[in-house]
Amino acid sequence: MKTVACIVQEGFAPFEFGVACEAFGLDRTEDGIPSFDFRIVTPVPGAVPSKMGFSINVRDDLSFASEADLVVVSPIPHPSWADVDPRVLDVVRHAADRGAWLLSICSGSFVLGAAGVLDGRRATTHWMYAERMARMFPRVQLDPDVLYVQDGRIITSAGTAAGLDACLHLLRLELGAEAANVIARRMVVAPQRDGGQAQFIVRPLPQTAGLSLAPVADWALENLHRELTVEQLAARAHMSPRTFARRFKADYGTTPAAWLARQRVIHAQRLLERTEWGLDRIAAECGFGSAAVLRQNFARVLGTAPTAYRARFTCAARSGQAAGDPSAPSPAA
């Protein structure tokens, strides 16, 4: 992925638009991250008003998007959902036909829906708009409860910060886990929130510092090589297993088992990129037990084999910020 086009239209949302600019538009070559040819495009170049009352001056029309490796669709206001510019729809359809990446943020999914590229596919949008999207596009397999969804080379995300999660997910696929972690550190955000997490968490912040599960999660990350159980984690939190599981789901938006499985895969990615260890050693270090179990989890989560992942990303990960202790666990999602 080398070229990125971000489509903006009248009434675009500044924050979600800024997410795309932050993720793909900054020069991070000093950190060993390749730069993208990132351009903002619109049907008619010139001043494009945002929904907040200010405008941006866009120089490029949609021609760049017709050849870009990634086309990002920013949110559009409610009145436009049923009347998307046909020129934008053509670009979206062409991108899908030629196998380019398509990424929508928040209500940008309505543009993809109007173009027909989500028909028969899994997708998501902001939970506030899910019922309307389901009515407008009944052929879309809508999941309103997750942060983002990847179906083939199309990624749809929920609102606001979930768009950043989706961008980091794509960067991880294209550049590798370590490069995505470098970008996340620059952004000062968590490097990985799994797409299957709930869009809204019952209690986003612990009620008191004493009830925080963060120390338990940190301990688990430092001990991924062990066979960890809910009972063990609950004991460290001084809770019953049932109470711990309920609290963990409320705080982290997923179950302890699912969170642990994802953290093990993330750690395996990092070790594949930064070491020459064999699969048996990596499997043991990550708590998978055997290379076969590592392969199964890798294929389930990432859709590829560990050896193929290593071949693609090991060189890139050893440049720039990749130096360090390969056995150190990745930050929690």
Write out the catalytic residue numbers: 106
Place of tokens 């206001």: 77
The pLDDT value given to residue 327: 41
d(CA 287, CA 259): 13
The pLDDT value given to residue 201: 39
SS3 40: strand
Indicate if 328 and 215 belong to the same structural domain: yes
Indicate if 13 and 156 belong to the same structural domain: yes
State which residues form the domain around 48: 3-187
CATH number at residue 329: 1.10.10.60
> Which parts of the chain sit beneath pLDDT 70?
190-211, 314-333
Give the percent of the chain with pLDDT over 70.
87
CATH number at residue 7: 3.40.50.880
DSSP H helices in the chain: 14-24, 86-97, 109-115, 130-136, 161-175, 177-187, 214-222, 230-236, 241-252, 256-274, 279-286, 291-302, 306-317
The pLDDT value given to residue 224: 94
In this structure, is residue 317 part of a structural domain?
yes
Single-letter amino acid, residue 195: G
How many CA atoms lie within 13 Å of 289's alpha carbon, on the beta-carbon side? 7
Residue 254 CB contacts under 8 Å (≥ 6 apart), including other chains: 194, 196, 197, 198, 262
Indicate if 171 and 218 belong to the same structural domain: no
Burial letters 282-319, b for 16+ CB under 10 A, else e: bbbbbbbeebeebbebbeebbeeebeebbebbbebbee
The pLDDT value given to residue 153: 96
Indicate if 236 and 331 belong to the same structural domain: yes
Q: List 148's β-bridge partners, or say none.
A: 157
| 149 alpha-carbon distance from chain centroid | 8
- pTM for the model stands at 0.74
Of 147, 142, 92, 136, nearest to 121 by C-alpha is 142
Specify the number of domains making up the chain.
2
Polymer length in residues for the chain: 333
Last residue of a domain, which of 161, 187, 213?
187
Indicate if 228 and 98 belong to the same structural domain: no
In this structure, is residue 200 part of a structural domain?
no
Indicate if 178 and 237 belong to the same structural domain: no
* Helix, strand, coil abundance in the chain, percent, nearest 5: 50, 15, 40
The pLDDT value given to residue 245: 93
Indicate if 136 and 180 belong to the same structural domain: yes
| pLDDT digit string, tens, across residues 67-122 | 999 999 999 888 788 889 999 999 999 999 999 999 999 999 999 999 999 999 99
Indicate if 166 and 239 belong to the same structural domain: no
Indicate if 119 and 210 belong to the same structural domain: no
Indicate if 10 and 73 belong to the same structural domain: yes
